[in-house]
Structure 1
Amino acid sequence: MLTPVRIAAPATTPVSLDEAKAHLRVDHDDQDGLIAAHIEAATAWVDGFTGIVGRALVTQTWRQDFAGFAPRLCLPLVPASAIVSVSYFDVINDPQTLDAGTCALLSDARGAYVVLQPGHSWPATWRRDDAVSVIFTAGYGDPADVPQPLRQAIQLLVQRLFDGADASIDAANDRVVDTLIAPYRRRAL
């Protein structure tokens, strides 16, 4: 399994500029650019495949490549909400796309995965690392749908970036952020 690739970023961040400014108690527009950059940085630290929780927050589209078909094609992000397409390189290395009704998106305690619908079989593929590609959407939906503890953690990270370094406050802030995100971290089973 290759590293997943985000092919469509979320339309917005989980925390808006207005929400961050309210949290920071900033009532002017002089530092909007700086605060927006902090929101982007904090969101990147939490969101997506490389984020600390290993989840997609606001709806986004990803591609996961596999060396071939398997009984389960495990997806690297939760919550996965839909399969956009499943494509593959056939035995003569020509690109093909499966019919939409051929497979299903399921999830369990280990995460989301793609399986074959009853009565279907996986086609043969060319031997290559990216023989099969699953494009899927993941995320909770709109920013308001993102669990509040994750949104609060992002706001605390924005506050830490905005306020600058203070060792005693940073340590307490880190503990609070870790506590907020702990229930949402993906764990290997």
Structure 2
Amino acid sequence: MRVVVITPPEPVVSLKEAKDHLRVRHSAEDALITGMVAAATQLLDGPGGDFGRALGVQTLEARFGVSAFGSSLRLPYPPLIEILSISYLDRSDQTVTADLVDFIVDGAELAPAGSTFAWEGGSLRSDAVRIRYRAGYPDNTSGAEPVSTLPAAVRAAILLMVGDLYRNRDTVTPVQAISIPMSTTVDRLLEPLRVYAR
């Protein structure tokens, strides 16, 4: 299965949050800090990251062959917000859109509703089936101020990485040629939430 980003996420940590964490009160390094937040987030987020989760709300498309979709399929990069579309390529490589009512979603699991759905005349290509969906941690907008549902441990890990990048702008120290590792606290914060490939 291959997953591509259709609509990238907005930043999950704001410039203000990062500057507050770093105790930076000027704007001279805003572009630098914004880049550090983006780099730390990209290290973790979605298909390009190594965390196995979608952090910011984004639109993803899982592409796989017909044979890969048995009785159910777990969509990668949780948390799943909603399925947007399910389509497949026919033998002429024309897109056929399936009706979403023919499928059941349970958490991140997607399964045909009953045994009636079939990939009629589906292509044998390895990317014939395409499931487009939204994933990530949305803002809870029920109150006066939107509140992010991003786990606090993930936010703290990103801020720790930004702090490391800000204070250690080179990979070696000028006094001794030793490597500066990223904080082990980051790994400990993320480990309980990390999704491993099956």
Secondary structure of the corresponding residue to residue 83 of structure 1: strand
- Alignment length (residue pairs): 182
| TM-score (ref. length: structure 2) | 0.84
State the shift of 1:9 in Å.
0.7
State the shift of 1:33 in Å.
0.4
State the shift of 1:131 in Å.
1.2
| TM-score (ref. length: structure 1) | 0.88
Corresponding position of 1:5: 4
Q: 1:181 aligns with which of 177, 190, 195?
A: 190
CA distance in 2: counterparts of 1:90 and 1:188, whole angstroms = 29
Corresponding position of 1:160: 164
Within 5 Å, give how 1:71-86 maps onto structure 2: 71-86=71-86
The amino acid across from 2:160 in the alignment is L
CA distance in 1: counterparts of 2:70 and 2:12, whole angstroms = 34
Question: Radius of gyration: which is bigger?
Answer: 2
- Structure 2 residues without counterparts, runs of 5 or longer: 140-146
CA distance in 2: counterparts of 1:121 and 1:70, whole angstroms = 11
Within 5 Å, give how 1:4-153 maps onto structure 2: 4-10=3-9, 12-68=10-66, 69-107=69-107, 112-118=108-114, 120-124=116-120, 125-142=122-139, 144-153=148-157
State the shift of 1:169 in Å.
11
Quick check: 1:59–1:140 contact (8 Å CA) kept in 2?
yes
Of structures 1 and 2, the one with the larger relative CO (CA 8 A, separation 6+) is 1
What percent identity do the matched residue pairs reach? 36
- Per-residue Cα deviation, 1:49-106 (whole angstroms, up to 9, x for no partner): 2312110011100001111142223312111111100001124432110112111222
Quick check: 1:79–1:139 contact (8 Å CA) kept in 2?
yes
Quick check: 1:160–1:170 contact (8 Å CA) kept in 2?
no
CA distance in 2: counterparts of 1:48 and 1:75, whole angstroms = 12
CA distance in 2: counterparts of 1:188 and 1:65, whole angstroms = 16
State the shift of 1:185 in Å.
0.7
Root mean square deviation of aligned Cα: 2.1
Secondary structure of the corresponding residue to residue 81 of structure 2: strand
The amino acid across from 1:90 in the alignment is D
The amino acid across from 1:31 in the alignment is E
Bigger Cα displacement from structure 2, 32-41 vs 117-126: 117-126
CA distance in 1: counterparts of 2:95 and 2:12, whole angstroms = 36
Quick check: 2:52–2:197 contact (8 Å CA) kept in 1?
no
